[in-house]
Amino acid sequence: MLILASASPRRLALLARIGVTPDAVDPADVDESVLKDEAPRDHARRLARDKAVAVAARHPGKIVLAADTVVHAGRRILPKAEDEATARACLHLLSGRRHRVLTAVAVIDAGGKLRERLSESLVTLKPLTAREIDAYVASDEWRGKAGGYALQSYAEAFCREFRGSHSGVVGLPLYETRNLLLASGLSL
Ligand SMILES: Cc1cn([C@H]2C[C@H](O)[C@@H](COP(=O)(O)OP(=O)(O)OP(=O)(O)O)O2)c(=O)[nH]c1=O
């Protein structure tokens, strides 16, 4: 029995690509604020773990999968864009700038044991013109996305350099996720 502790339709679709259909989807509602002096990797790991632990408490004896995606430039963690002003600010900051996208995955097995992996990708977007930013903001594609862009849609056309896990950037790194699920006793 697998529970997906996520409201992200992208995570559900990525799981389907490896033949996994969760028995239930039960999103966690955790506080996603960044702690003082918290490093990006620690932040992503902590949130994935918090989401998994919160949901596992409601589903004892089940396998629970949670993840968290964070975009950061240096030590600066970008917000998840929920309004146009935030999306615009993210795009200005990331324009022409190499940055990282982290996705932490946490799985709690039926016996309550927690396993974690972190996927890291490097992304460089082209220097964006004011027109490109305006058009992208008008597209709404950025909504609900960490860092204000979605690599799986139009924004890939702005991506000059990429190294890492495409599925990780979109929300669930398939290599790490498959290994975690196998180690946690799910037959795939
Ligand atoms: C950078 C980037 C992020 N994203 C998405 C992945 C995540 O869904 C989202 C970051 O927010 P998250 O907090 O990781 O996840 P979520 O709020 O969508 O869902 P839940 O917490 O319930 O699991 O940004 C993309 O889809 N494409 C991208 O290129």
What range does the domain containing 82 cover? 2-183
Asked whether residue 157 is domain-assigned, the answer is yes
Is the overall model pTM greater than 0.95, yes or no?
yes
Per-residue confidence (pLDDT) for residue 90, from 0 to 100: 98
Look up the CATH number of the domain holding residue 39.
3.90.950.10
Q: Whose CA is nearest to atom 9 of ligand 1?
A: 145
Q: Give yes or no for residue 188 having a pLDDT over 90.
A: no
Which ipTM was obtained for this model?
A: 0.97
- Average pLDDT on 68-76 reads 96
- What digits encode the pLDDT tens for the residues 106-132? 999 999 999 999 999 999 999 999 999
Distance (Å) from CA 169 to ligand 1 centroid: 8
CA–CA separation, 122 and 163 (whole Å): 5
Per-residue confidence (pLDDT) for residue 99, from 0 to 100: 98
Asked whether residue 175 is domain-assigned, the answer is yes
Distance (Å) from CA 111 to ligand 1 centroid: 28
Mutation to probe ligand 1, out of 45, 69, 151, 158 (largest number of atoms < 8 A from CB):
69
Q: Which residues pair with 64 in a beta bridge?
A: 3, 108
Q: Hey, is 113 helix, strand or coil?
A: coil
Strand 76-77 and strand 63-73: pairing?
antiparallel
- Is 68 an annotated catalytic residue? yes
Q: Structurally, how many domains does the chain consist of?
A: 1
Asked whether residue 149 is domain-assigned, the answer is yes
- What digits encode the pLDDT tens for the residues 12-70? 999 999 999 999 999 999 999 999 999 999 999 999 999 999 999 999 999 999 999 99
Ligand 1, CB cutoff 6 Å, lining residues: 6-8, 10, 27, 67-69, 71, 80, 101, 144-147, 149-152, 169-171
Q: Give yes or no for residue 171 having a pLDDT over 90.
A: yes
Q: What average pLDDT is seen over the chain?
A: 97
